[in-house]
Structure 1
Amino acid sequence: MSALAKLREPAAADRAEPRLGEASSCVAFVGDLQSHAAVTAACQARFEGFEVRDGTSRQALEWLAEAPPPKVLIVDVSDAAQPLTALLPILAALEDRTSVIAIGTVNDIALYHELVQSGVQDYLVKPVSEKLLSASLAAIEAKKQVAAAAGTADAAGQATPKLLVAVMGTRGGVGTSTVAATCAWIMAEEQKVPTTLVDLDLQYGTIALQLDIEPTRGLREMLENPGRIDSLFIRSTAAKLTDRLSVMAAEETVDDEVRYDDGAVALLFDELHRQSDCVVVDLPRTAPRVRAKVLGLATHVLLVTDMTLAGLRDAIRQLGLAQQAAPQAQLLVVANHVVGKGASLSRAEFEKALGHAVDFLLPEEAKTVQAAATTGKPLAVAAKGSKLVAQLRLVTRQLGSGEQKKAKRSLFGFAAKKRR
């Protein structure tokens, strides 16, 4: 008997059997002791019915021929010279409701994108930790909650889907934080949706300053130590701006590097969605790995830009990033600081060069924004009747409309179904 088989011998330690004919919540096929232990620990914390089996992609495919597909399938592809080739028949054998996590030894971003495009939910490089796998499982659960809520809203016409709105700016000064803060306020106070606003620029973010609130002391701790993330800690650290709007924003010192934990982002937003129907995130231009994680969870992405030549250059780059990292999200381009002729590119010129429509035009109202910032009041309160706020109401209405981007067919034909 192999060492791995011996480890698996006590069935109660790594196996919670489903009833006969009933699909497991999670089934994993792993080929080494370390991965087996990490997967078992992560599954025990999240699933009632799960199995961790000795094997890799070949054994997973054989098992699927005899058993009902689980809700989550974890497959070790380290035995395959071509991981994608090994996974395609597995993906073809599964139903849409099954989410697939692949684990392997090849550390290649191109392979990661190929696997995700083919329908794999996530790809983790060995050695796989319990924390990293838990974050991946949390991200799957969050996406399924969004999809389920959207389906319920379509059926009942009244339920509110879980929204995660990522607001990203092309460069400094385009008004990203103003857009994020105002949309969050309108969503909470005018559309009556429980909302959390999160400023992920922990050192240079301006949300706390704009809204005249004390910086959130626990946000950095949660992003650096995901073990601290729980509902009680979040409630104790978030600033309660109104009954329906909570804010998490920090002002950390600039001489100390913030060490974001890879697994913390998904866990944090999973927990926030238990408390709020909408989470609006002001993304930093730095911390690219954190941005990619948030974009991968987003239901909507707002790309805020001005219509200058420099804004166009950066909008092209950021648009490409958003389309690659957030294929599941509805992407809206918001042009801010729009002024008269001659001061910027025309809308037609900008759209043609960008290759994407400008969905909303926000007028230049610098004095209005400055007056609101000086008083520490939300823009939607300080300038309730302004044209700028009127346009931002339209943006927020679009976010709350329940529209989701429809999944496109993958390049891989028969395995092109999006699994969430």
Structure 2
Amino acid sequence: MSTVEYEIKNTAELRHAEDALRMAELEGMRPLPRISIHAFCESEELQRTMERCGNDRRMAKVSLRVTSGGIAAAANMFAGAPTPNLIILETRATSASLLSELAPLASVCDPSTKVIIVGYHNDISLYRELIRNGISEYMVQPVGMADLMTALAAIFIDPDAEPLGRSIAFIGAKGGVGSSTIAHNCAFGISRLFSTETILADLDLPYGTANIDFDQDPTQGIAEAVYAPERLDEVFLDRLLTKCSEHLSLLAAPSILDRSYDFEGQAFQPVLDVLQRSAPVTVLDVPHAWSEWTRSVLGSVDEVVICASPDLANLRNTKNMMDALRKMRPNDKPPHLILNQVGMPKRPEITPSDFCEPLETDPIAIIPFDINLFGTAANSGRMISEMDAKSPTAETFSQLAHIVTGRIAVKKAKKGGLLGLLKRK
């Protein structure tokens, strides 16, 4: 055996030993949450590595897609499609040209999207520049399965990392104003429009209607999570969820009166913590009540949406709720307002402009009263966009999905993904 052959053999054996060691370290790695990953591979080696990752048990909840191509292919694809939670890009670009090649992708990439670049140049200056511009990780080929899995864990499982999920709470200013219906349609729209894994949690344990609206009859749900916080983790939560559509899961309420549902102030906090670690978006259907636990939920979520009908009682309640929430959340933007059931025949109403003037806010949506559309959808266990995708109301729910997830006000989104490159443009 020649000296060169001997060195190659030793190098291969050393790399195999290092891979085995890394794989052993992954044994204790928790499963990845419900995220979407799209990998763009220029080499067959990386494609095979991604396929190995996709078959790993820790990726069971991950929606993985692998495409041949590099940065240009990604920019072209996402010019007309929503970006996933993570993009993996393989590129042979030089250190001098890589940032400029990323610019077209930066212009179409959602700021919340994370990015891993797999390159061929071991350049510490380039690494620092990419990290400074919002790239989550830069890895140099050859990259093994253990390397990628470790990087994914650092981004989405690391306890010091930002919470994965965005939580949005819907609550009615008065009973019967359709807050639950709006919450359910928004959750469905978010999951469908953006292909984003979404969890809808029905917090109205005695009277929740999410199971009816989605034509589901789960045997377990949120009650098991609330009453057994010591058992609650991502694995236990996964057993309690019911699949409603490709990207939407339901944490259903029992909707039975076999006990009283009195909760301490922080009763739902463990559930919210696990939900935020489990999916990019959580929609909370909060019942019309004002107690310690509802105050705690509304005080801890990322977005609050108040739904109201245009009458005097709703105006009074909305004003009181907004004032209270502004005090509870002094460093957050005010709650969103949705006016629902507008234009009900023979009902005296306050005009939207007169309703909103004392609130010092504008509604993000005004939904007209349409008993046939909403009634038929409710009785058939379907969402509005499934009943009539071209209706103005379906378009309103589409706009709401963009607003409550922050996809319209992009400049206000949290730092992440290619935000640094967007700022440089």
Report whether the alignment pairs 1:275 with 2:291.
no
Alignment of 1:321-400 (within 5 A): 321-327=324-330, 328-329=332-333, 331-339=335-343, 343-400=348-405
2:299 maps to: 296
Q: Give CA-to-partner distance per residue, 1:373-395, whole Å, 9 cap, x none.
A: 11111222122222112111111
The alignment's C-alpha RMSD in Å is 3.1
2:238 maps to: 235
Alignment of 1:183-202 (within 5 A): 183-202=186-205
Q: 1: CA distance between counterparts of 2:309 and 2:133?
A: 39
CA offset at residue 337 of structure 1? 0.9
The one of the two structures with greater contact order (alpha-carbon pairs below 8 A, sep at least 6) is: 2
* Contact 1:222-1:264 within 8 A present in 2 as well: no
Q: 1: CA distance between counterparts of 2:342 and 2:392?
A: 12
CA offset at residue 256 of structure 1? 1.5
Q: 1: CA distance between counterparts of 2:133 and 2:287?
A: 36
2:316 maps to: 313
* Contact 1:199-1:249 within 8 A present in 2 as well: yes
Q: 2: CA distance between counterparts of 1:166 and 1:192?
A: 20
Q: 2: CA distance between counterparts of 1:231 and 1:167?
A: 24
Q: 2: CA distance between counterparts of 1:239 and 1:262?
A: 27
Residue identity in the other structure for 1:346: T
Q: What secondary structure sits across from 2:358 in the alignment?
A: helix
CA offset at residue 238 of structure 1? 0.9
Change (3 A) 1:340 1:295: closer
Q: Give CA-to-partner distance per residue, 1:165-207, whole Å, 9 cap, x none.
A: 0101011111101110000001001111110001100001111
* Contact 1:338-1:361 within 8 A present in 2 as well: yes
- Runs of at least 5 residues in structure 1 that lack an aligned partner in the other structure: 1-148, 407-420
TM-score (norm 2): 0.55
Change (3 A) 1:218 1:346: closer
Q: What secondary structure sits across from 2:205 in the alignment?
A: coil
Alignment of 1:17-416 (within 5 A): 162-215=165-218, 217-254=220-257, 256-286=259-289, 288-327=291-330, 328-329=332-333, 331-339=335-343, 343-402=348-407, 403=409
Q: What secondary structure sits across from 2:268 in the alignment?
A: helix
TM-score (norm 1): 0.56
Change (3 A) 1:264 1:333: same
Q: 1: CA distance between counterparts of 2:200 and 2:219?
A: 12
Residue identity in the other structure for 2:386: V
Q: What secondary structure sits across from 1:196 in the alignment?
A: strand
Q: 2: CA distance between counterparts of 1:230 and 1:353?
A: 44
CA offset at residue 318 of structure 1? 1.9
Residue identity in the other structure for 1:332: H
Change (3 A) 1:243 1:151: closer
Q: What secondary structure sits across from 1:180 in the alignment?
A: helix
CA offset at residue 294 of structure 1? 1.4
Q: 2: CA distance between counterparts of 1:252 and 1:175?
A: 17
Q: 2: CA distance between counterparts of 1:306 and 1:333?
A: 10
* Contact 2:222-2:254 within 8 A present in 1 as well: no
What is the aligned residue count? 259
Q: 2: CA distance between counterparts of 1:157 and 1:369?
A: 44
Q: Give CA-to-partner distance per residue, 1:93-119, whole Å, 9 cap, x none.
A: xxxxxxxxxxxxxxxxxxxxxxxxxxx
* Contact 1:224-1:259 within 8 A present in 2 as well: no
Identity across matched positions, percent: 24
Q: 2: CA distance between counterparts of 1:195 and 1:246?
A: 6
Q: What secondary structure sits across from 1:354 in the alignment?
A: coil
Q: 2: CA distance between counterparts of 1:376 and 1:192?
A: 21
- Runs of at least 5 residues in structure 2 that lack an aligned partner in the other structure: 1-110, 116-131, 137-154, 156-162, 413-425
* Contact 2:172-2:288 within 8 A present in 1 as well: yes
Residue identity in the other structure for 1:240: K
* Contact 1:163-1:277 within 8 A present in 2 as well: yes
* Contact 1:199-1:282 within 8 A present in 2 as well: yes
Specify the structure having the higher radius of gyration (Cα).
Answer: 2
* Contact 2:165-2:278 within 8 A present in 1 as well: no
Residue identity in the other structure for 1:337: Q
* Contact 1:170-1:303 within 8 A present in 2 as well: yes
Residue identity in the other structure for 2:366: L
